[in-house]
Structure 1
Amino acid sequence: MKVVICGAGQVGYGIAEKLASEQNDVSVIDSSPNLINAIRDTLDVRGFVGHGSHPDTLALAGADQADMIIAVTLYDEVNMVACQVAHSLFNVPTKVARVRAQSYLRTHWQDLFSRDHMPIDVIISPEVEVGEMVLRRLSLPGAVETARFCDDHVVVVGIMCEEDCPVVDTPLRQLTELFPDLSAVVVGVQRENRLFVPKSADALLVGDLVYVVARRDHVRRALAIFGHEEPEANRVVIAGGGNIGQYVAENLEKRQSRAKIKIIEFSRDRALSIADRLKRTVILHGSALDQQILREADIQDADTMVALTNDDEVNILSCVMAKKLGCRRNLSLLNNTSYPAFAHALGIDAYINPRAVTISKILQHVRRGRIRAVHSLQNGAAEVIEAEALETSPLVGRPLSEVDLPPGIRIGAVYRGDTVITPDGSTQIQAKDRVVMFAMAERVRDVEQMFRVSLEFF
């Protein structure tokens, strides 16, 4: 696949890195010579210095041959114009744009991005995506990571095995015997910086991060089995009243009538602005690193501290301070990809990487075959993929015990009609089933092949 990426910042770099590692033909455009030099030096991509919305720059980058353009510069308008130019002058089939300003995304303007006006196939709004991820974490506080598939009927959760985890040292096959009616499958384990697909004889150890695919109504029970019975957060303190902080507070006000929310915002002007927009949220002007301000926010009585500032160090330190002052849990936004490896050791209960959220959203449109959703794990070391089975798929029509799945792939759930099926050896996948599977990065191509339309189909 030939892809043109406009923007060589964190997200653009991350997408280029992922696509280049899969032997795609990638061109990256950015107005910063330093960013382009860095991306040329480290990745197997072509770099072009220039404006991503200028026709001559797009032509140099090979837009006339491109299968897709992904516009993720810092400016919404540049991203939108780049897609328009790619469509009008170069007839690029798939156009993806990152659009931050919520004004463009209002439902009554939704016709703006139609083919007749501004032809953008996929709109990515990082603030909304990350905000929704925060809200899901608050509703399932025992989970380190969450993602939803199959119209929200299937949930993937990352669960940390603590010292008091009841199922430590228990072989996975025994878990199935102990909880036969639990609709959940362990699909991946992160142990000492190594991510792998466990075998049925493997046992979990203290310190493992376990990825579980579960039916939505069985998620809380799965968390409880792993020793996490934390109730949903009702008292929330948010550090940072930017777009994400405001989005989270607005939606908590709408969705949880009993929620008590407080925001700590460093900018006085921004504090006044969000105070006018939020109805039940208390706004405190000050630094989230000021213990006096944290005490004013009643941090000692809070269920969760959510740190959503633009500064990773402020997020980490405010979460650690909040925990020391009596807050039960914390959740931090971490942009730096090297920080998550140390998060748990520093006292961070859960974290969200905005870049990973955005990249996951884009990957589902890059993947070949009938891929409906993708969630990237551990900086791209593995993916959870939802795909639709076709009649020609090698998975269809045979018991799973007879299907020769490559190592590094594990099926977690099958969604048929409105029913979630927990797979076992006797399960037979049918055409049009939606399959949720965990795949190590080197096996993603195998998954794509399983769900591609073959020529014989026609």
Structure 2
Amino acid sequence: MKVVICGAGQVGANIARYLATENNDVTVIDRESRLTKKISDTLDVQALVGHASSPTILEQAGAADADLLVAVTQSDEVNMVACQVAHSLFSVPTKIARIRNQSYLRPIWADLFSRENIPIDHVISPEIEVARAIARRLQVPGAFEMIPLADGMVRVLGVLCADDCPIINTPLRQLTSLFPDLNIEVVAIVRGNRPIIPDANDQMFPGDEVYFVADSRHVGRAMAAFGHEESEARRIVIIGGGNVGLFLAQEIEANYPGVTARIVEENEDRAAYIAQTLSRTLVLTGDGLDTELLEEANIGVTETVVAVTNDDEVNILASLLAKKHGSQRAVTLVNNTDVYGSLITGLGVDAVVSPRAITASGILQHVRRGRIKAVHSLRDGFAEIIEAEALDTSSLVNMPIKDIRLPVGVIIGAVVRGDDVIIARPKTVIRPHDRVILLSASASVKKIEKMFAVRLEFF
């Protein structure tokens, strides 16, 4: 597949890395030669310096032969024009754009991004996606990751194994017999900074970060098996009133009537705007690192603090300060996970939110081929959680999972058949039109796409 990526910032570089490792033909455009040089030095991609919306530059990037254009520059307007030019002059079939300014996304302008107006096939709004990701984490206290799949019937959860975790030091193949009520499938373990896609003989140790698949109805029981029985947050303090903080507060007001939220925002004008926009959220004006202000926000009786300013260091320090003053849990937004990612969990931050990983997942969902319904990237791309529909012609159907020749680094976690969730076991048989939840190592994603693709001989 030939892909043109407009923008070589963190998100653009991340998408380029995903696609280049899968042997796609990738060209990246950016105005800054520093960024294009960095990306061409580290990845097997072409890089051009220039305006991403310029017809000449897009032509040089090979837009005439491109299957996909991804516009993720810092400017919404450049992203929109790039998609328009790619459509009008080069007939690029699929165009994805990152749009941050929410005025473009108001329901009243729902027809703006259409083939007849501005031809963008998929709009990605990072701030909204990040706010939703944080809200999902709040639903399952104790989990640093929560991914809903199959219309919410299945959840992929990430948990930290503490010293008192009841199921550590047990081979995975013995979990079902030793813990008959534990109906889960462990699909990934991160030990230190080393990701592991486990087999039946692997064990979990204290300090491991474990990803597992569970029936949504059994999440409480599964979390208890890992030693996590934290109560759901009823009092939340949000540090940072930018778009992410505002959207999160709106999500809480709309969908969590029993939750009380407070926002701490340093800019007085922005704080006034937020106070006018929200109906039942208290807005405090000041610095999130001010201990007196945190006390005014009742941080000592707050179950969760969410730090979502535009400064990674402020987010980390505010999270640690809030926990020191009594907050039970900290959810921290970090843009530069390359620098801070490996340090944070050791400092006491409970959940790290990476906007670039969330945005990449949203884009990959539209890039993946075959009958793939959802895609979520784990830990900067060592693997992907995929939801896909099994077709009559797929090599997975009508045989036990133990007999399927799965690619290396692929684990099937669950099968959804109608209203039934079946946690995958060796004797589980996948039927046509089942929704399959699986983890795939990044190197095997292309093979998974082919397994779930429509074959020509079927017609």
The normalised TM-score by structure 2 is: 0.97
For structure 2, the 5+ residue unaligned runs are: none
SS of corresponding position for 2:212 = strand
Q: Give the equivalent residue in structure 1 for 2:28.
A: 28
Structure 1: runs of 5 or more not aligned: none
**Aligned AA for 1:356?**
A
2:151 partner SS: coil
The equivalent residue for 1:235 is 235
Q: Does 2:31 match 1:65?
A: no
Quote the residue 1:146 is aligned against. Answer: 146
- Residue 102 of structure 1 is matched in structure 2 by 102
Shift of 1:378: 1.3
Q: 3-state DSSP class of the match of 1:379?
A: helix
> Which residue does 1:121 correspond to in 2?
121
Counterpart residue type for residue 215 of structure 1: D
What CA distance in whole angstroms lies between the structure 2 residues aligned with 1:40 and 1:198? 33
Shift of 1:242: 0.3
Per-residue Cα deviation, 1:379-425 (whole angstroms, up to 9, x for no partner): 11111111111222111111112112233111001112222211212
CA contact (8 A) 1:135 1:248 kept: yes
Alpha-carbon distance in structure 1 between the residues aligned to 2:187 and 2:426: 15
Contact 1:196 1:440 in 2 (8 A): no
Question: Displacement of 1:457 after TM fit?
Answer: 2.0
Cα deviations by residue, 1:152-193 (Å, 9 ceiling, x for unpaired): 211111010011211111222232124435442111111122
Secondary structure class of the residue paired with 2:346? helix
2:168 maps to 1:176: no
Q: How many residues align?
A: 458
Higher mean alpha-carbon deviation, 144-153 vs 346-355, is at 144-153
Question: In terms of mean alpha carbon deviation, does 62-71 or 414-423 score higher?
Answer: 414-423
**CA positional deviation for 1:257:** 2.0
Q: SS in structure 1 opposite 2:337?
A: coil
**Amino acid corresponding to residue 67 of structure 1 in structure 2:** D
Native 8 Å contact 2:182 2:225 kept in 1: no
Structure 1 residue 439: Cα displacement: 1.2
Counterpart-to-counterpart distance in 2, 1:282 and 1:17 = 41
Aligned to 1:280: 280
What value does the CA root-mean-square deviation take over the aligned residues?
A: 1.3
Give the aligned partner of residue 373 of structure 2.
Answer: 372
Using the TM superposition, give the Cα deviation of residue 108 of structure 1 relative to its aligned residue in structure 2, in angstroms.
3.0
Question: Does 2:317 align with 1:332?
Answer: no
Distance in 2, Cα, partners of 1:406 & 1:176: 24
Deviation at residue 428 of structure 1 after TM alignment: 1.3
Instruction: Measure, in 2, the Cα distance between the counterparts of 1:294 and 1:45.
Output: 47
Q: What is the correspondence of 1:12-411 to structure 2 with a 5 Å cutoff?
A: 12-338=12-338, 339-411=340-412
Q: 1:71-95: per-residue Cα shift (whole Å, max 9, x none)?
A: 0011112111111111111110111
Q: Distance in 1 between matches of 2:108 and 2:426?
A: 49
AA aligned to 1:130 is V
- Alignment of 1:454 with 2:426, yes or no, is no
Report the 3-state secondary structure (helix = DSSP H, G, I; strand = E; otherwise coil) of the residue aligned with 1:113: coil
Asked if 1 retains the 8 angstrom alpha-carbon contact of 2:176 and 2:183, the reply is no
Q: Percentage identity across aligned positions?
A: 55
What per-residue deviation string (whole Å, max 9, x for no partner) do you get for residues 278-300 of structure 1?
Answer: 11111111111111111111111
Shift in Å, 1:266:
1.2
> What is residue 425 of structure 2 aligned with on the other side?
424
Counterpart AA for 1:403: I
Q: CA deviation at 1:359?
A: 0.3
Query: Aligned equivalents of 1:34 and 1:407: distance in 2?
Result: 37
Q: Distance in 1 between matches of 2:258 and 2:445?
A: 43
